[in-house]
Structure 1
Amino acid sequence: MNSHKINNILEHFDYRLLENPEFKEDSVREEIVLPIIKGLGYSANKPNQIIRSRNLIHPFVAIGSQKKKIYIIPDYLFEVNDKPSWILDAKSPTESIIKSKNVEQAYSYAIHPEIRARFFSLCNGKEFVLYSVDNFEPLMHFQMQAIPLYWENLKAILSPKNVFSTNSLEYKKDLGLHLKRLGFDKNTILIFPQIPVTNITQLDNDMFTINVGGATLNETTYVATFDFHLDVLKQLKGKIPDDGFEMLLTRKKEGRVAVRFPDRAYMVDVECEIGQKLEENDKEIFLPLKLTRIIN
């Protein structure tokens, strides 16, 4: 995986700019959002058109017996062959894009009678979040510095050729199974840089797991599962929030402890090997990778 050059649409952006109080919403639009939407395949021209700041009459506002025209204005509406497909709202780096009024606002744009889009998204420069109007939880949520890991997933859902496809949300291939079929075995040491940790679940008293939804290898995106023992969990101290770490460390002997980090992903470099035991749930068969060491 190290030898493959991952597409980084924001390769030349200096993320230190996000700490500058002068870097506000308009800067997020120009420096971060614009390269992403152009990279996805949209432009000012038809058929895959970016429409900026379209006025929409709010459908729910009336004063007395009179309707009052109040306009709501999404930052970006994307149309494919004149059909609305998704919307994106840009926010300043200081604004929340998870469980906030901003999410409710973006949702109202997406379900507007003039739009009726399937997806809506928000970006504050530090993070990107993508929702389906049919689900409460995000489809994708990542720090912008991790966008190379999520880029193929993002294109699989939002590119003009995929955005109306019913297949865009199908399960991805399992990375462990893929590597096993390529001939890798338990004696092969694998290094994965910048794995985004957004969740850790206790499987038993001495076993934990991390699920990653956007591992890209040779331009194909996989789901990866990393299982690890208590000694590796202890190596995550200082790399994930202290409260989550302590919750996992004081694990239950029976039952499961699950910790999620909804506000950001914590990036770690890991060393692992191919697992030996196939796992199965009601939707898929997968082969977890055995995480042996946290490198950074």
Structure 2
Amino acid sequence: MALAERGNELTAIQALRAGAADYLPKRLLTPSRLKSALDRAFVALDRSMPEARAAATKRRAAAPLATGQPTITGYEIIRTLSESEKAVVYLAESRALGTEVALKVSKIPCEDRAKQALAREYQAILAVHDPAVVRIFDHGIEDGYEYLAMEYFPHGDLKARMQVGVTESEALRFLEKIGSALAVVHRAGLLHRDLKPPNVMLRESDNVVLIDFGLARLLDVSHHSTYTGVLRGSPYYMSPEQALGEKLDPRSDLYSLGVIFHEMLTGRKPFMGNSAMEVLQ
């Protein structure tokens, strides 16, 4: 990218021949013009260097995502919203949409399609078209790591709301709204399998939105709910049949909703323990 204090058509031609992606006279430079030029430059770089990008992806995929904010083409990361063992969720600005999004980036290298956990979540959410389920905007792989761009909820989640306390009438309203949201998911042929307060987001109107479909499964699939020795889900909210790895139906999600309702009314979970296994036992 060439920025010129003084110049003319000749210097512009010389800059482009030397390999510059664009030539910008400083007197005409504006933030929007610079942003557009950089976007075009990144796209051109991606198209002109496929082999170099493939080699870089292979090198970076050899190790987990390093600490610090990643670079995802088309998004400007603002800050970290949350982090788990497997992924980080950032607040980001989407250049294409011109709005803020929640950008979920995997911390685990994506070596093949069978291991693309966010791709499965992406497909699950696409199966449901309802305001009670988070909107999905984009899915891709950058430098060997998956990312998922979703609707951002500035009003936070049910967990934060519960920490300041909810009344009995509010708890009943949330129970009804979450139950209606689950009905939408179940009618679409899905089980959520990880319903818990952090996965229930709130709109300004206090309407609820379900997020995090990473463990969602089709209702008509006859496999067991987990793999031997692998606990999938949140122990405090997990149904007994899910903990035992048995075949699940919508009642498993309703059990999780019952635990949330108990917690809203009493301020505590019905089953506690010093470890996940103690809770499940």
More strand by share: 1
TM-score, normalised relative to structure 2: 0.29
Whose relative contact order is higher, 1 or 2, with alpha carbons under 8 Å and at least 6 apart?
Answer: 1
Query: Which has a greater percent of helix?
Result: 2
Give the number of the structure whose alpha-carbon radius of gyration is greater.
Answer: 2
